[in-house]
Amino acid sequence: MALLFWLWASPAFGYEYQLYKNGENFGIVVFPKTQMSAELDQYIQSLLLEPVESGEAVMRSGSKGENETYMMPLEVQKNHSIEKFMVIQVLTRSRMMIGIFDPEWGLTLPSSIFGFNEMKKNIPKTLDIFRGNNKRKEIHWKGKSKSNSGLKSRWTAISGR
């Protein structure tokens, strides 16, 4: 069984990642990109995280040398000024593992497998933790909808400065 896992996780298979980033410089890295559902992509974008880059995932450890998982290369992280991010490993369409990268905590990789609905509850909570003591405030903004050319309004929460 261990041999099968090693072969499945081998870098020779060339996992690709998709990186999303918000205006607060928080990110979400999803791998393997080929396993990501349209529903997951739409959900992440509904949280005002935009896809900014994709490419070949690399094995990295946390800032304290602990734990390892696939994610974006360090150069990509630096180019986008992302210090805190989540890593979502898609196992199946409805099963995912989620890790947290924070320079202060390092890389946290829980062993729990989450369903899509559970993950949807935890991502906003994690973004709030990233914000720390910065209070969230609601703003009303208008932007072009990707589904049509008209304007749409949406309420969203951002961190206060």
Query: pLDDT tens-digit profile of 9-44?
Result: 444 357 999 999 999 999 999 999 999 999 999 999
- Answer whether residue 92 is part of any domain: yes
- Positions of E strands within 15-150: 16-21, 26-31, 50-56, 58-61, 68-71, 84-92, 95-102, 106-108, 136-144
- State the helix-helix crossing angle for 116-131 and 38-46, rounded to 10 degrees: 30
Tokens of residue 56, six digits:
């070949």
- Whether 147 is covered by a domain: the verdict is no
**Is position 145 within any domain?**
no
Q: What is the DSSP letter of 150?
A: S
In eight-state DSSP terms, residue 114 is B
How many domains does the chain contain in total? 1
Say if 2 falls within a structural domain. Answer: no
DSSP 8-state assignment for residue 48: T
* β 84-92/26-31 pair status: parallel
Contact 127, 119 (CB under 8 A): no
Question: Chain-centre distance of CA 136, in angstroms?
Answer: 20
Is 8 within a domain?
Answer: no
| 7 found inside a domain | no
In a domain, 112, yes or no: yes
* pTM for the model: 0.74
Assigned domain for 61 exists: yes
Residue 32: is the preceding peptide bond cis (ω within 30°)? yes
Of the pLDDT bands very low, low, confident and very high (cuts 50, 70, 90), residue 6 is: very low
**Domain span including residue 40:** 14-134
- Measuring CA to CA, how many Å separate 58 from each of 37, 83, 144, 147? 21, 17, 35, 33
% of the chain residues with pLDDT over 70: 75
Residue 133: band (very low, low, confident or very high) from pLDDT cuts 50, 70, 90: confident
Helices marked H in the chain: 2-9, 38-46, 74-79, 116-131
Q: Give the Å distances, CA to CA, from 107 to 12, 54, 98.
A: 23, 21, 11
> To the nearest 10°, the Cα dihedral for 124, 72, 108, 112?
70
